[in-house]
Amino acid sequence: MSLRSLFSKLGRNPPPVQSGMSSVHATSGCTRHDHPEFQIRVSNGAVPAEDISWLLRFFEQRVAQGAKFQSGESLQVGWMLTMLEDGPQGFLRVLEPDMKGVPVKFVDSVDSTLMHLRNQQDVARSLSLPVEPAFPSLRQSAVVHVNYKEANRVLLTRSEALDGADSGWWLSDLDDEAGSEDPARFIKTSLYQLGIDRPELVKFFAVPAGLQVFVDGARIGVLGEDGEVPQIPGSYLSELNKLRQHRVSSERGSSGG
């Protein structure tokens, strides 16, 4: 079963084991296949319970299909690369990158994994054009403008990947129109590094090839072959735009006062 199809088949959420501000959850169907159970830690209260349940079900489905996992192996979930390690009582503990720097440091959490997956799914579902999210890997590369860390107005363009190491993403600075034609104004970096430097852009990384995302002040839009793709009213992107517009209006009002 694929990641996409499994996302809509949410299982029952097992009761969590509370540990301070975090909760520990575990699968329960892997031992019947002579496989260790998985254990995950969630600390972000914004992570929906159904997403926690989905992730546990995802692991159980992979094992039921015959997959075997052990400590030291990696497993991609959405765009995120998770790592497995031996945990207490024979569990396989699921770790994720801390999203703080390079080299990658893995921590006992799946907060970013689940939040990024949810946001990337919700971006795709916000579009009136029926599209499926196309998850890259954080290990893949992206081409970015030299000012990518500070650029306020950016255009993200995704093309078909050239090879397995390429995500297909290209980030341009809309305020450097002349430089957009100069190859010397662009560098290659990892998608993980881009996510660290511009975490607010991670939500767009699963937009499929052939589309563009522009972030221009209070507006976020997605462009297709026929122009801007309408956003479904009340959808994630639509509501995000409302919040951004309200914030910009408030800031302008404060400045004017």
166-224 residue pLDDT tens = 999 999 999 998 888 899 999 999 999 999 999 999 999 999 999 999 999 779 999 99
Mean predicted confidence (pLDDT) in 133-157: 96
Give the residue ranges of DSSP H helices in the chain.
3-7, 49-64, 111-125, 191-197, 236-256
Q: What global pTM score does this model have?
A: 0.86
Q: Are 42 and 23 in contact (CB under 8 A)?
A: yes
pLDDT value for 135: 97
pLDDT value for 7: 32
pLDDT value for 3: 35
Q: Is 132 exposed, middle or buried (0-12, 13-18, 19+ CB in 10 A)?
A: exposed
Peptide bond between residue 103 and the one before it cis (omega within 30 degrees of 0) = yes
Candidates 155, 153, 154, 158; CA nearest to 141 is 158
pLDDT value for 33: 97
**Contacts of 137 by beta carbon, 8 Å cutoff, 6+ apart:** 76, 79, 81, 167, 191
How many whole angstroms separate alpha carbon 164 and alpha carbon 248?
A: 39
> What are the pLDDT digits (tens) for 21-74?
789 999 999 999 999 999 999 999 999 999 999 999 999 999 999 999 999 999
Three-state SS at 104: coil
> What are the pLDDT digits (tens) for 103-136?
899 999 999 999 999 999 999 999 999 999 999 9
pLDDT value for 11: 32
| Amino acid making up residue 210 | G
Mean predicted confidence (pLDDT) in 152-157: 96
